[in-house]
Amino acid sequence: MQKKTVAFSKDSSNLFFHLLTKCNLSCCHCYINKKQHGENTLDIKTIKKWLSLFAAKANHTNVIFLGGEPSLHPDLFLAVKEARSLGFKSITIDTNGYLFHNILNKVTPDEVDFMSFSLDGATEKTNDAIRGKGSFKKCTAGIKESVSKGFSTSMIYTVSAMNFHELPMMPALIKSFGIDRFFIQVIGIRGNSAENNNDLQVTKENWLKIVPKVAEEIARQEIIVTYPKVFLKEDEKFQCAGIVADNYFIFPNGRVYRCPLCEDFPIHSLKIKNDTLVQRGRINEKDLFHLNIAEGCVMNKIIQPGTLAYKNDGTPEHKIACCMLKQEVSLK
Protein backbone atom coordinates (compact mmCIF):
# COMPACT_ATOMS: atom_id res chain seq x y z
CA MET A 1 0.00 0.00 0.00
CA GLN A 2 1.32 3.42 -0.96
CA LYS A 3 0.22 6.46 1.02
CA LYS A 4 1.30 9.96 0.17
CA THR A 5 0.39 13.58 0.66
CA VAL A 6 -0.24 15.24 -2.70
CA ALA A 7 2.01 18.30 -2.53
CA PHE A 8 0.98 21.70 -3.88
CA SER A 9 2.78 22.76 -7.01
CA LYS A 10 2.85 25.77 -9.32
CA ASP A 11 3.48 23.26 -12.09
CA SER A 12 -0.05 21.87 -11.83
CA SER A 13 -3.20 23.96 -12.01
CA ASN A 14 -6.88 23.14 -11.54
CA LEU A 15 -9.73 25.00 -13.22
CA PHE A 16 -13.09 24.33 -11.56
CA PHE A 17 -15.48 25.70 -14.16
CA HIS A 18 -19.14 26.11 -13.12
CA LEU A 19 -21.07 26.38 -16.39
CA LEU A 20 -24.38 27.02 -14.64
CA THR A 21 -25.90 26.92 -11.16
CA LYS A 22 -29.12 25.13 -12.14
CA CYS A 23 -29.59 21.57 -10.87
CA ASN A 24 -32.35 18.98 -10.90
CA LEU A 25 -31.54 17.99 -7.30
CA SER A 26 -31.41 19.93 -4.04
CA CYS A 27 -28.75 18.29 -1.91
CA CYS A 28 -28.58 19.14 1.79
CA HIS A 29 -24.91 20.07 1.55
CA CYS A 30 -24.90 21.76 -1.88
CA TYR A 31 -22.36 24.61 -1.82
CA ILE A 32 -23.94 26.60 -4.67
CA ASN A 33 -25.16 29.97 -3.42
CA LYS A 34 -27.19 31.64 -6.15
CA LYS A 35 -27.13 34.98 -4.33
CA GLN A 36 -23.35 34.93 -4.71
CA HIS A 37 -22.86 32.82 -7.84
CA GLY A 38 -25.74 34.01 -10.00
CA GLU A 39 -28.47 32.05 -11.79
CA ASN A 40 -27.40 32.41 -15.39
CA THR A 41 -26.24 29.67 -17.74
CA LEU A 42 -23.16 30.54 -19.77
CA ASP A 43 -23.57 30.24 -23.53
CA ILE A 44 -21.01 28.20 -25.44
CA LYS A 45 -19.44 31.29 -26.99
CA THR A 46 -18.70 32.68 -23.53
CA ILE A 47 -17.46 29.31 -22.26
CA LYS A 48 -14.95 29.15 -25.11
CA LYS A 49 -13.73 32.68 -24.41
CA TRP A 50 -13.34 31.97 -20.69
CA LEU A 51 -11.47 28.73 -21.31
CA SER A 52 -9.07 30.62 -23.56
CA LEU A 53 -8.17 32.91 -20.63
CA PHE A 54 -6.36 29.96 -19.05
CA ALA A 55 -5.04 28.36 -22.24
CA ALA A 56 -1.50 29.67 -21.82
CA LYS A 57 -0.97 27.06 -19.09
CA ALA A 58 -3.30 24.48 -20.61
CA ASN A 59 -0.72 21.69 -20.80
CA HIS A 60 -0.50 21.54 -17.00
CA THR A 61 -4.06 22.57 -16.13
CA ASN A 62 -6.85 20.15 -15.23
CA VAL A 63 -10.35 21.32 -16.19
CA ILE A 64 -13.30 20.15 -14.10
CA PHE A 65 -16.73 21.02 -15.51
CA LEU A 66 -19.30 21.56 -12.75
CA GLY A 67 -22.70 23.07 -12.05
CA GLY A 68 -25.22 22.91 -10.62
CA GLU A 69 -25.47 19.83 -12.78
CA PRO A 70 -23.21 20.34 -15.82
CA SER A 71 -24.99 17.79 -18.00
CA LEU A 72 -28.07 20.05 -17.89
CA HIS A 73 -26.09 22.35 -20.17
CA PRO A 74 -27.04 21.43 -23.75
CA ASP A 75 -23.58 22.40 -25.03
CA LEU A 76 -21.49 20.61 -22.42
CA PHE A 77 -20.12 18.35 -25.14
CA LEU A 78 -18.94 21.38 -27.09
CA ALA A 79 -17.24 22.76 -23.97
CA VAL A 80 -15.41 19.45 -23.59
CA LYS A 81 -14.28 19.48 -27.23
CA GLU A 82 -13.08 23.07 -26.90
CA ALA A 83 -11.06 22.26 -23.77
CA ARG A 84 -9.51 19.30 -25.56
CA SER A 85 -8.64 21.38 -28.63
CA LEU A 86 -6.94 23.96 -26.40
CA GLY A 87 -4.70 21.22 -25.00
CA PHE A 88 -5.74 21.13 -21.36
CA LYS A 89 -3.94 18.44 -19.37
CA SER A 90 -7.11 16.62 -18.32
CA ILE A 91 -10.88 17.06 -18.51
CA THR A 92 -13.36 15.88 -15.90
CA ILE A 93 -17.15 16.09 -15.77
CA ASP A 94 -18.61 16.11 -12.25
CA THR A 95 -22.18 14.80 -12.41
CA ASN A 96 -25.02 13.58 -10.22
CA GLY A 97 -25.52 10.69 -12.63
CA TYR A 98 -28.66 11.75 -14.48
CA LEU A 99 -26.55 12.36 -17.59
CA PHE A 100 -28.86 14.78 -19.35
CA HIS A 101 -28.71 15.48 -23.10
CA ASN A 102 -27.31 12.00 -23.72
CA ILE A 103 -23.85 13.31 -22.82
CA LEU A 104 -22.10 9.92 -22.86
CA ASN A 105 -22.97 9.56 -26.55
CA LYS A 106 -21.74 13.05 -27.42
CA VAL A 107 -18.23 12.77 -25.99
CA THR A 108 -15.67 9.97 -26.11
CA PRO A 109 -13.29 8.44 -23.54
CA ASP A 110 -10.47 10.09 -25.50
CA GLU A 111 -12.01 13.51 -24.88
CA VAL A 112 -12.98 13.09 -21.22
CA ASP A 113 -10.34 11.83 -18.80
CA PHE A 114 -12.83 11.21 -15.99
CA MET A 115 -16.57 10.98 -15.54
CA SER A 116 -16.99 11.68 -11.84
CA PHE A 117 -20.21 10.71 -10.06
CA SER A 118 -21.49 11.96 -6.70
CA LEU A 119 -23.01 9.31 -4.45
CA ASP A 120 -23.54 10.08 -0.77
CA GLY A 121 -24.77 6.84 0.71
CA ALA A 122 -24.17 3.12 0.48
CA THR A 123 -27.93 2.62 0.61
CA GLU A 124 -30.76 4.18 -1.33
CA LYS A 125 -32.39 5.41 1.88
CA THR A 126 -29.40 7.43 3.08
CA ASN A 127 -28.29 8.76 -0.30
CA ASP A 128 -31.79 9.84 -1.33
CA ALA A 129 -32.39 11.57 2.02
CA ILE A 130 -29.37 13.74 1.22
CA ARG A 131 -29.57 14.13 -2.56
CA GLY A 132 -33.19 13.51 -3.53
CA LYS A 133 -35.59 10.67 -4.22
CA GLY A 134 -34.48 8.35 -6.99
CA SER A 135 -30.93 9.71 -7.14
CA PHE A 136 -29.27 6.50 -5.86
CA LYS A 137 -30.68 4.40 -8.69
CA LYS A 138 -29.92 7.04 -11.33
CA CYS A 139 -26.36 7.58 -10.12
CA THR A 140 -25.43 3.90 -9.86
CA ALA A 141 -26.97 3.26 -13.27
CA GLY A 142 -24.99 6.19 -14.68
CA ILE A 143 -21.76 4.82 -13.23
CA LYS A 144 -22.36 1.45 -14.82
CA GLU A 145 -23.18 3.04 -18.18
CA SER A 146 -20.05 5.17 -18.02
CA VAL A 147 -17.83 2.18 -17.28
CA SER A 148 -19.50 0.06 -19.98
CA LYS A 149 -18.76 2.75 -22.57
CA GLY A 150 -15.08 2.80 -21.68
CA PHE A 151 -14.89 6.05 -19.68
CA SER A 152 -12.45 6.28 -16.78
CA THR A 153 -14.95 6.65 -13.97
CA SER A 154 -14.65 7.98 -10.45
CA MET A 155 -16.96 8.45 -7.49
CA ILE A 156 -17.21 11.23 -4.91
CA TYR A 157 -18.56 10.58 -1.40
CA THR A 158 -19.05 13.73 0.67
CA VAL A 159 -18.80 12.71 4.31
CA SER A 160 -21.25 14.30 6.73
CA ALA A 161 -23.07 13.43 9.94
CA MET A 162 -25.92 12.13 7.75
CA ASN A 163 -23.91 9.44 5.95
CA PHE A 164 -20.73 8.87 7.96
CA HIS A 165 -22.10 5.58 9.33
CA GLU A 166 -22.33 4.17 5.80
CA LEU A 167 -18.82 5.00 4.62
CA PRO A 168 -17.50 1.60 5.82
CA MET A 169 -20.12 -0.04 3.58
CA MET A 170 -18.79 1.59 0.41
CA PRO A 171 -15.97 -0.89 -0.35
CA ALA A 172 -18.49 -3.71 -0.73
CA LEU A 173 -20.91 -1.57 -2.77
CA ILE A 174 -18.38 -0.41 -5.36
CA LYS A 175 -16.55 -3.73 -5.69
CA SER A 176 -18.30 -4.62 -8.94
CA PHE A 177 -18.62 -1.10 -10.39
CA GLY A 178 -15.27 -1.00 -12.18
CA ILE A 179 -14.41 2.55 -11.11
CA ASP A 180 -10.83 3.85 -11.24
CA ARG A 181 -10.87 6.46 -8.48
CA PHE A 182 -12.74 7.14 -5.27
CA PHE A 183 -12.79 10.59 -3.68
CA ILE A 184 -13.80 11.17 -0.06
CA GLN A 185 -14.76 14.79 0.53
CA VAL A 186 -15.19 16.65 3.78
CA ILE A 187 -18.40 18.62 4.25
CA GLY A 188 -18.01 22.37 3.82
CA ILE A 189 -20.14 24.80 5.79
CA ARG A 190 -21.23 26.89 2.84
CA GLY A 191 -24.26 27.10 0.60
CA ASN A 192 -27.13 24.98 1.90
CA SER A 193 -25.27 23.61 4.91
CA ALA A 194 -24.44 27.14 6.10
CA GLU A 195 -27.87 28.62 5.35
CA ASN A 196 -29.76 25.83 7.11
CA ASN A 197 -27.43 25.84 10.13
CA ASN A 198 -27.10 22.07 9.89
CA ASP A 199 -24.55 20.42 12.17
CA LEU A 200 -23.17 18.17 9.45
CA GLN A 201 -19.47 18.16 10.26
CA VAL A 202 -17.77 14.98 11.49
CA THR A 203 -15.57 15.02 14.59
CA LYS A 204 -11.80 14.70 14.36
CA GLU A 205 -11.94 11.40 16.26
CA ASN A 206 -14.45 9.84 13.86
CA TRP A 207 -12.68 11.17 10.77
CA LEU A 208 -9.27 9.78 11.76
CA LYS A 209 -10.74 6.52 13.00
CA ILE A 210 -12.76 5.66 9.90
CA VAL A 211 -11.67 7.57 6.77
CA PRO A 212 -8.04 6.31 6.42
CA LYS A 213 -9.18 2.76 7.16
CA VAL A 214 -11.92 2.82 4.49
CA ALA A 215 -9.53 4.46 2.02
CA GLU A 216 -7.08 1.57 2.40
CA GLU A 217 -9.81 -1.02 2.04
CA ILE A 218 -11.02 0.53 -1.21
CA ALA A 219 -7.45 0.92 -2.49
CA ARG A 220 -6.98 -2.85 -2.16
CA GLN A 221 -9.47 -3.14 -5.03
CA GLU A 222 -6.86 -1.39 -7.23
CA ILE A 223 -8.78 1.88 -6.98
CA ILE A 224 -6.87 5.10 -6.28
CA VAL A 225 -8.40 6.82 -3.24
CA THR A 226 -8.02 10.51 -2.43
CA TYR A 227 -9.25 12.32 0.67
CA PRO A 228 -8.56 15.66 2.39
CA LYS A 229 -5.75 15.78 4.93
CA VAL A 230 -7.95 17.97 7.22
CA PHE A 231 -5.90 17.64 10.42
CA LEU A 232 -2.19 18.41 10.56
CA LYS A 233 0.20 16.77 12.99
CA GLU A 234 2.12 19.02 15.39
CA ASP A 235 5.32 18.85 13.34
CA GLU A 236 3.59 19.49 10.00
CA LYS A 237 3.82 22.95 8.49
CA PHE A 238 0.66 24.64 7.25
CA GLN A 239 0.62 25.66 3.58
CA CYS A 240 -2.15 27.55 1.80
CA ALA A 241 -2.93 26.44 -1.76
CA GLY A 242 -3.99 30.01 -2.51
CA ILE A 243 -0.32 31.00 -2.18
CA VAL A 244 1.52 27.88 -3.28
CA ALA A 245 -0.68 26.52 -6.10
CA ASP A 246 -2.85 27.69 -8.98
CA ASN A 247 -6.49 26.75 -8.43
CA TYR A 248 -9.35 28.72 -9.94
CA PHE A 249 -13.05 28.37 -9.11
CA ILE A 250 -15.09 30.07 -11.85
CA PHE A 251 -18.79 30.89 -11.51
CA PRO A 252 -21.29 31.97 -14.21
CA ASN A 253 -21.49 35.54 -12.89
CA GLY A 254 -17.76 35.98 -13.56
CA ARG A 255 -16.48 35.57 -10.05
CA VAL A 256 -13.19 33.66 -9.77
CA TYR A 257 -12.11 32.45 -6.36
CA ARG A 258 -8.78 30.92 -5.34
CA CYS A 259 -10.18 29.28 -2.19
CA PRO A 260 -13.46 27.31 -2.16
CA LEU A 261 -14.12 28.17 1.49
CA CYS A 262 -14.64 31.79 0.45
CA GLU A 263 -17.41 31.16 -2.06
CA ASP A 264 -20.27 32.28 0.20
CA PHE A 265 -18.81 35.79 0.30
CA PRO A 266 -18.00 38.53 -2.24
CA ILE A 267 -14.29 38.40 -1.48
CA HIS A 268 -13.17 36.73 -4.71
CA SER A 269 -9.70 37.82 -5.79
CA LEU A 270 -10.39 37.72 -9.54
CA LYS A 271 -13.26 38.55 -11.86
CA ILE A 272 -13.94 37.92 -15.52
CA LYS A 273 -15.13 41.24 -16.92
CA ASN A 274 -15.75 41.76 -20.64
CA ASP A 275 -14.17 38.34 -21.21
CA THR A 276 -10.95 39.49 -19.52
CA LEU A 277 -9.53 38.13 -16.26
CA VAL A 278 -8.89 41.02 -13.88
CA GLN A 279 -7.51 41.31 -10.36
CA ARG A 280 -9.86 42.82 -7.77
CA GLY A 281 -8.83 45.52 -5.36
CA ARG A 282 -8.14 44.99 -1.71
CA ILE A 283 -9.36 43.58 0.56
CA ASN A 284 -10.13 40.15 -0.88
CA GLU A 285 -9.45 36.49 -0.11
CA LYS A 286 -5.86 36.68 -1.37
CA ASP A 287 -4.99 39.24 1.32
CA LEU A 288 -6.10 36.79 4.00
CA PHE A 289 -4.11 33.79 2.76
CA HIS A 290 -0.87 35.25 4.16
CA LEU A 291 -2.13 35.46 7.75
CA ASN A 292 -0.30 32.97 9.97
CA ILE A 293 -2.32 31.59 12.86
CA ALA A 294 -1.79 28.69 15.24
CA GLU A 295 -5.04 27.07 14.03
CA GLY A 296 -3.64 26.57 10.51
CA CYS A 297 -6.11 27.67 7.82
CA VAL A 298 -7.26 31.22 8.53
CA MET A 299 -10.29 30.87 6.24
CA ASN A 300 -11.41 27.81 8.18
CA LYS A 301 -11.21 29.73 11.46
CA ILE A 302 -13.25 32.60 10.05
CA ILE A 303 -15.87 30.65 8.12
CA GLN A 304 -16.27 27.26 9.81
CA PRO A 305 -14.74 27.49 13.31
CA GLY A 306 -16.72 24.45 14.45
CA THR A 307 -13.83 22.28 13.24
CA LEU A 308 -11.58 23.77 15.93
CA ALA A 309 -11.01 22.76 19.53
CA TYR A 310 -8.89 24.42 22.21
CA LYS A 311 -6.93 23.38 25.28
CA ASN A 312 -7.51 24.94 28.69
CA ASP A 313 -4.71 27.43 28.07
CA GLY A 314 -6.43 28.66 24.91
CA THR A 315 -4.06 27.07 22.42
CA PRO A 316 -5.57 24.96 19.61
CA GLU A 317 -5.64 21.20 20.03
CA HIS A 318 -4.84 20.76 16.35
CA LYS A 319 -4.13 22.63 13.14
CA ILE A 320 -6.51 22.49 10.20
CA ALA A 321 -4.87 21.83 6.83
CA CYS A 322 -5.71 23.71 3.66
CA CYS A 323 -8.89 22.16 2.23
CA MET A 324 -7.00 21.49 -1.01
CA LEU A 325 -4.32 19.34 0.66
CA LYS A 326 -5.01 15.70 -0.17
CA GLN A 327 -3.91 12.25 0.90
CA GLU A 328 -3.66 9.59 -1.81
CA VAL A 329 -3.77 5.86 -1.18
CA SER A 330 -3.08 3.19 -3.81
CA LEU A 331 -1.53 -0.20 -4.26
CA LYS A 332 2.17 -0.05 -5.12
Identify any residues that bridge with 107 across adjacent strands, giving them in sequence order: none
Strands 90-95 and 13-18: unpaired
* Closest to 174 measured CA to CA, from 202, 206, 147: 147
Three-class DSSP category at 325: coil
d(CA 242, CA 258): 6
pLDDT score, position 199? 77
115, 93 Cβ separation under 8 angstroms: yes
pLDDT score, position 198? 64
pLDDT score, position 196? 62
16, 324 Cβ separation under 8 angstroms: no
- Give 2-40 as a DSSP string: EEEEE---TT-EEEEEE-----S---TT----HHHH-S-
Three-class DSSP category at 314: coil
Local confidence pLDDT in tens for the 332 residues of the chain:
899 988 788 888 999 999 999 999 999 999 999 999 999 999 999 999 999 999 999 999 999 999 999 999 999 999 999 999 999 999 999 999 999 999 999 999 999 999 999 999 999 999 999 999 999 999 999 999 999 999 999 999 999 999 999 999 999 999 999 999 999 999 887 777 777 656 788 889 999 999 999 999 999 999 999 999 999 988 899 999 999 999 999 999 999 999 999 999 999 999 999 999 999 999 999 999 999 999 999 999 998 888 889 999 999 999 999 999 999 999 97
Backbone angles phi, psi at 269, to 5 degrees: -90, -15
pLDDT score, position 34? 93
- CB-based burial, 9-30: b 16+ in 10 Å, e otherwise: eeebbbbbbbbbbbbebebbbb
Q: What is the CATH number of the domain that holds 226?
A: 3.20.20.70
Cα 166 from chain centroid (whole Å): 20
| Interior angle at CA 47, CA 42 and CA 48, nearest 5 | 155
**Domain around 106:** 2-330
* Closest to 117 measured CA to CA, from 103, 6, 129, 105: 103
Residues 6+ apart with CB under 8 A from 169: 122, 123
* Closest to 260 measured CA to CA, from 291, 292, 236, 228: 228
pLDDT score, position 197? 55
Burial class from Cβ neighbours inside 10 Å (0-12, 13-18, 19+) for residue 184 reads: buried
pLDDT score, position 9? 82
Residue type, 150: G
pLDDT score, position 247? 96
Q: How many domains does the chain have?
A: 1
